[in-house]
A and B are shown apart, each in its own frame.
Chain A
């Protein structure tokens, strides 16, 4: 059964009305982000001149395009239904998008740190001259400061809007993107401070500002790399911000334990990107095999917990397999 694009689903998982709306809003927000970023990149490129900090900020603006693109691509691919070739669906597209964005951030950030460090060590002194603005000579540093301050505001607003959606959708690419946007004002202010520093005759201010900005790019890269690799190697599912084990794990375990025929329970849950894959090992009371109806009911109780839980495999076992559910 094929559904029209835009209909709310992640692979085999039907989204509720509410989640579909959230997904649509997130897609719209990311397109808005790309539009805003393109304008910002054009504006910063226009005034960048020879300031190292300005050029670093410019590259960072271009890099910020990656997470929204990764999100849009991943959200499109993850929508596909599972096939015989891809029985788990395409949810891992989210993790791959996350990893690609993280590696790009890390690589670019590293090269920018090297640039800024070299500029600082060799004592590069950026020249900033005068522009002819409608016949009036204006120091080129002023438009740089103005553009940096003006462009540091919209991403913060977009980031704040996106972080809420990232939690609802359990989307880590969206979260990484929102976190980067939210921190963007620091880049703007650091760069503006660097340019003002040049104006005050402190030639090193520019390179120091560039170093601060590029270090923050590297930090973003490391955080995202850690998060994406951790999910790709099937770590225990965590909350959207990787702060804690996901509470649903405990809830699944409790629901299964409440089944009257169940003596002991072991559960492992991995994050496929958006949705979870649950495997539950059940030790029946007094070694009596549960009926198929009892198993189906237990499975239903799990999937009723949350829209993220749909792919559930339950196995009755004589005793908990320690290598599959280590405690």
Chain B
């Protein structure tokens, strides 16, 4: 009798714990999971996407007028369309742009970066959007850089990249 009570109490508590966990996960999913510690995606969606660009043809080119073009520039414009954002371009040197990204003054950096870039400690590199063979016979994977830890934004951008891979 007593044993039954103890058992039912224990299973009750376990059920409660599972319910609590599901509730946490559920609420997480509703407001976007994963979430950004600094709320990048929430701010950018329907607002302004601050993109740093450093010249690295044919991925990125910056005209004298300051207007950027190239494969990666188009990629970012396309992504911005998807989340209803307006891209504001900030041309500059790669190392300077990465530092701005780290400090939260930029949301994404395009500079013909590759997966083996030494910036990995300072920026979250995305999954590759293109694979190329270099002149010395190595395979390089081209990536974009986002702010470290802003996983909601990163996941949204990478979801876009996956869907692009799948031709959707």
8 A Cβ contacts from B113-168 to A: 124-127, 146, 148-152, 154-155, 158-159, 161-163, 165-166
Query: Per DSSP, are chain A's interface residues mostly helix, strand or loop, or mixed?
Result: loop
- The stretch among A52-60, A124-132, A231-239, A282-290 that forms the contact with chain B is A124-132
Cβ of A127 and Cβ of B163 under 8 Å apart?
no
B46 at the interface (CB under 8 A from A): no
Cβ of B33 and Cβ of A139 under 8 Å apart?
yes
Chain A residues with CB below 8 A from B163, complex form: 137
Q: Which of B25, B126, B162 has most chain A Cβ within 10 Å?
A: B162
- The stretch among A195-203, A262-270, A308-316 that forms the contact with chain B is A195-203
- The stretch among B34-42, B48-56, B83-91 that forms the contact with chain A is B34-42
A200 to B149, CA, bound (A): 11
Range of interface residues on B (Cβ < 8 Å): 20 to 34
Decide: A202 near B34, CB < 8 A? Known: A127-B154, A137-B162.
no
A126 to B149, CA, bound (A): 5
A196 to B152, CA, bound (A): 13
Shortest Cβ gap from B84 to chain A (Å): 19
Cβ of B34 and Cβ of A200 under 8 Å apart?
yes
Shortest Cβ gap from A140 to chain B (Å): 9
Q: Mark A105-143, 1 if CB is under 8 A from B, else 0.
A: 000000000000000000011111110100111010100
Decide: A128 near B162, CB < 8 A? Known: A199-B28, A199-B34.
no
Work out how many contacts link A and B, with CB atoms closer than 8 A. Answer: 73
Shortest Cβ gap from A232 to chain B (Å): 43
Chain A residues with CB below 8 A from B155, complex form: 128-130, 137, 139
Chain B residues with CB below 8 A from A130, complex form: 127, 154-155, 158-159, 161-162
8 A Cβ contacts from A172-219 to B: 196, 198-203
Chain A residues with CB below 8 A from B33, complex form: 139, 199-200
Q: Which of A127, A135, A200, A202 contacts B166 (CB 8 A)?
A: A135
Cβ of A198 and Cβ of B34 under 8 Å apart?
yes
Chain A residues with CB below 8 A from B6, complex form: none
Chain B residues with CB below 8 A from A124, complex form: 148
Cβ of A203 and Cβ of B127 under 8 Å apart?
no
Chain B residues with CB below 8 A from A135, complex form: 162, 166
Chain A residues with CB below 8 A from B154, complex form: 127-130
Residue of A nearest to B32 (CB): A201
Chain A residues with CB below 8 A from B125, complex form: 127
A130 to B150, CA, bound (A): 13
Cβ of A128 and Cβ of B151 under 8 Å apart?
yes
Shortest Cβ gap from A146 to chain B (Å): 13
Decide: A137 near B37, CB < 8 A? Known: A127-B148, A127-B149, A129-B124.
no
Chain B residues with CB below 8 A from A201, complex form: 34-37, 151-152
Shortest Cβ gap from B109 to chain A (Å): 14
Chain A residues with CB below 8 A from B148, complex form: 124-127
A129 to B156, CA, bound (A): 9
Chain B residues with CB below 8 A from A136, complex form: 162
Cβ of A198 and Cβ of B151 under 8 Å apart?
yes
Residue of B nearest to A135 (CB): B166
Chain A residues with CB below 8 A from B30, complex form: none
Q: Which of B25, B37, B124, B152 contacts A202 (CB 8 A)?
A: B37
Chain A residues with CB below 8 A from B28, complex form: 199-200
Cβ of A203 and Cβ of B149 under 8 Å apart?
yes
Q: Please name 19 further chain A to chain B contacts, defined as beta carbons within 8 Å, in addition to the given A127-B149, A130-B159, A137-B158, sorted by A numbering.
A: A125-B149, A125-B150, A127-B154, A128-B151, A130-B161, A132-B165, A132-B166, A135-B162, A136-B162, A137-B155, A139-B34, A139-B155, A141-B34, A199-B151, A200-B24, A200-B28, A201-B34, A202-B37, A203-B149
Query: Can you list 23 A-B pairs, Cβ within 8 angstroms, ordered by A?
Result: A125-B149, A125-B150, A126-B148, A127-B125, A127-B146, A127-B154, A128-B155, A129-B124, A129-B126, A129-B127, A130-B158, A130-B162, A132-B162, A132-B166, A135-B166, A137-B159, A137-B163, A139-B155, A198-B151, A199-B28, A199-B151, A201-B34, A201-B37
